[in-house]
Amino acid sequence: MIEDANRPEGPARDDLESLMSRYQESDSTAATLLAERLNGRLLRFFAAQTRDRDRAQDLLQDCWLRIHRARHTYRAGEPLLPWVYAIARRVQVDDYRKVQRIRRHELQEEAKEPAAPVPSEPPASAGIVSVTELLERLPPPQRETILLLKVSGLSLEEVARATGTTVGAVKQRAHRAYKNLRRLFGEER
């Protein structure tokens, strides 16, 4: 198995767990250091899901509030990243549900108003598809698995813990996601 250069190994991983243990003991310096070390990863996770940096920042803040409230549930000696990404995943799912409720409400309001005319010309960027747009076309579990594995750099075991599934289910989702991405990429060419 090829190791990802972005994933901390050895002392760096142990350092995260020790910072979390100190954070649980109300060490504000440890809390600050932990936030500094994890903010970039979590922000990339949320940004890849939302494609909106401001919204990703909001989700990051919500995630840290939840981590703070749930810090007593972290068990010392356990890997920290799966625990953190499980919380981040819940934040993202809750946000998705909130957005869907708002959209449903807006659609009900729009149904009462006359429709706006449809533009006749396609946008200038028609025909150019980004990887992010292709990822958006994947079913949510497959997209989430790819983001956790490739963007966040978690291992199969860590993704399984974060998503509450088995390693086999993570492998299956990743395989199906890769297959769907190849198909989608082929359709766009």
pLDDT at 137: 87
- DSSP output for 132-162: HHHHHTS-HHHHHHHIIIIIS---HHHHHHH
Question: Domain for residue 105, yes or no?
Answer: yes
Q: What is the predicted pLDDT for the residue at 3?
A: 42
Give me the domain span that covers residue 165: 128-189
End-to-end Cα distance, the chain: 31
What pLDDT shows up at residue 111? 66
Q: What is the CATH number of the domain that holds 99?
A: 1.10.1740.10
Residues 6 or more apart in contact with residue 66 via CB below 8 angstroms: 87, 90, 91
The encoded tokens of residue 51 equal 């494609």
The pLDDT of residue 12: 57
Is residue 123 domain-resident? no
Among 62, 60, 74, which residue's Cα sits nearest to residue 30? 74
Residue 30 lies in a domain: yes
Looking at the 3D structure of the chain, how many domains does it have? 2
Looking at 61, 92, 114, the residue that finishes a domain is 114
* Residues of the chain falling short of pLDDT 70: 1-14, 109-129, 188-189
pTM value surpassing 0.85:
no
Last residue of a domain, one of 114, 147, 163: 114
Q: What is the pLDDT of residues 109-148, one digit of tens each?
A: 666 655 555 555 545 455 566 777 888 888 888 988 998 8
Could you give the count of Cα atoms lying within 13 Å of 164 in the half-sphere of its Cβ? 6
Position 24, amino acid: Q
In 3D space, the residue among 29, 28, 95 whose CA is nearest the CA of residue 61 turns out to be 95
Is residue 88 within 8 Å of 45, Cβ to Cβ?
yes
